[in-house]
Amino acid sequence: MFLLGLILILVLQFEGISGQSNRLYYRPAGQDAILPCGRGSDSPATCSEVSWFYGGVTSSYSRVVTNGMILSSPRAARLSLQTNCSLVIKNITAEDAGVYTCQQREDDYYTGGTYLSVLTISPYLPDADGEVTLECSLLRGNYLGSCEENSLRWLNETGSVLLGEGVGYEVFNQTDCVSHLKVKQQSGHNRRYTCQFVDQRNKVLIQGDYTPAFKGSTESPDPIDPAGWFPLSSVMLAVKIAGMIMIIVITVLLIRDAGALKEE
C-alpha cells in the first residue's frame, strides 16, 4: 500500500503541474460533491472493478471503495457510487478535504485525480473587550503544496477588500492556507465579513460569509440554511406568534366554559 500511495502521489503531482486535474471547492454547509471516475468516453462501463483512493490533509492514501463496494469507515454512510462510478460525498465536511483517485481496473494505477478543498470560517479567539478574531482556512490535500501568498482575502459587507489595519479591523499576514481578521464591535448592526480564495488571475474560486456576534450585543447573526429555509430568527418569531395564538384560544375556551357553568 505504501508503494501504491507513493506512485499515486508522484503521478498526481505531475498531473497537477500539467493542469489536467480536477479541483473542486466547497463550504461545509450541507452540500454534496460528485467526483468523476474517468473523463467522458473513458468512464468505466461497470463499477465491479472500480476502486477509489483517498489521501487526506494529514492522512496517507487509503481505499474508500474497492470492487464497487464502499469500505467501512466513520464516513461510509455519506459515500455512494453513481451508475457511471462517480463518487458521491453527501454533506461535505472539513474531514472530506484531500485528493481522490479512481482506479478502473486492478492493472491500472489511476484514471484521474480530483482535489477537494473545503473553506471554513470560524471564531479563532474569544470575544474580548468588544473584539473578535476570525479564522479563514482552506483545507486541501498536501499534494497541492502551500497556498499562494494573498490568495485568501477579506472583504467587508460593502465588498471592499480589507488590507492591513483600518477602522474597526486588522488583517494579519496569511500563513500557508490560513488567514486571520480581528474586528471590533461597532455601533449599529453586526457587520458581515467575507473570506475569498482567489487564483493568480484574481478569480474567486470560493468564498464564505460570517457575521460575528459580540457579548452584550442585542443582535445575533441569522444562520441561513443553504437549502433555502428561513433564517433562525424568522422561525423563532413564528413559534412565538403561534404560542400567543394558542394562549388566546385557551383563554377564550376557559371563559366560555366558565360562562356555561354559571348558566347551569
Considering the domain architecture, whether residues 205 and 256 belong to the same structural domain is answered as no
Q: Is residue 220 part of a domain?
A: no
Q: Is residue 217 part of a domain?
A: no
Indicate if 6 and 68 belong to the same structural domain. yes
Which residues, in sequence order, are CB contacts of 67 under 8 Å at separation 6+? Answer: 48, 49, 50, 51
* pLDDT for the residue 6: 37
Would 215 be classed as within a structural domain? no
What is the average pLDDT score of the chain? 76
Q: Kindly report, residue by residue over 184-232, the tens digit of the pLDDT.
A: 877 666 789 999 999 999 999 999 999 987 766 554 444 433 333 333 3
Q: Does residue 81 have a pLDDT over 80?
A: yes
Residues 10 and 39 reside in one and the same domain = yes
Residue 216 located in a structural domain: no
Q: Are residues 89 and 10 located together in one domain of the fold?
A: yes
At residue 77, φ and ψ (nearest 5 deg) are -65, -20
pLDDT, tens digit, 9 for 90 and up, residues 89-142: 999 999 999 999 998 876 565 556 899 999 999 998 766 777 899 999 999 877
Quote the radius of gyration of the chain (alpha carbons, Å).
Answer: 25
| Boundary-marking domain end, from 83, 98, 117 | 117
Amino acid at 98: G
Look at residue 112 and tell me if it is in a domain: yes
- Cα 195–chain centre separation: 13
Q: Are residues 194 and 107 in the same domain?
A: no
Q: How many domains does the chain have?
A: 3
Q: Which of 184, 210, 236 is a domain's end point?
A: 210
Q: Cα–Cα distance between 110 and 14 in angstroms, integer?
A: 13
Nine cell digits for residue 4: 501504491
Q: What mean pLDDT do residues 39-67 have?
A: 80
Chain-centre distance for alpha carbon 43: 28
222 belongs to a structural domain: no
- Distance (Å, whole) CA 70 – CA 81: 8
**DSSP one-letter code for 29:** T
Spatial contact of 35 and 87, defined as CB atoms under 8 Å apart: yes
What residues contact 264, with CB distance under 8 A and at least 6 apart? none
pLDDT digits (tens, 9 = 90+) for 146-161: 899 999 999 999 999 9
Q: What is the DSSP letter of 253?
A: H
Q: Same structural domain for residues 84 and 143?
A: no
> Is the distance from CB of 101 to CB of 49 less than 8 angstroms?
no
Q: Residue 219 falls within a domain, yes or no? A: no
Domain that holds residue 46: 2-117
Q: For the segment 230-258, what is each residue's pLDDT rounded down to a tens digit?
A: 333 333 334 345 445 555 655 666 566 65
The residue with cell 505531475 is: 14
Q: Are residues 201 and 261 in the same domain?
A: no
Residue 56: which pLDDT band, with cuts at 50, 70 and 90?
confident
Alpha carbon distance 180, 123 (integer Å): 9
For residue 106, what is the domain's CATH number? 2.60.40.10
Whether 218 is covered by a domain: the verdict is: no
Q: How far apart are CA 182 and CA 165, in angstroms?
A: 9
Cβ(106)–Cβ(47) under 8 Å? no
The answer to whether residues 124 and 168 belong to one domain is yes
Confidence check: pLDDT of 7 > 70: no
Instruction: For residue range 10-52, list pLDDT tens digits in order.
Output: 334 434 433 445 899 999 988 999 999 875 556 666 888 899 9
Instruction: Tell me, yes or no, whether 125 and 166 share the same domain.
Output: yes
Do residues 71 and 127 both lie within one domain? no
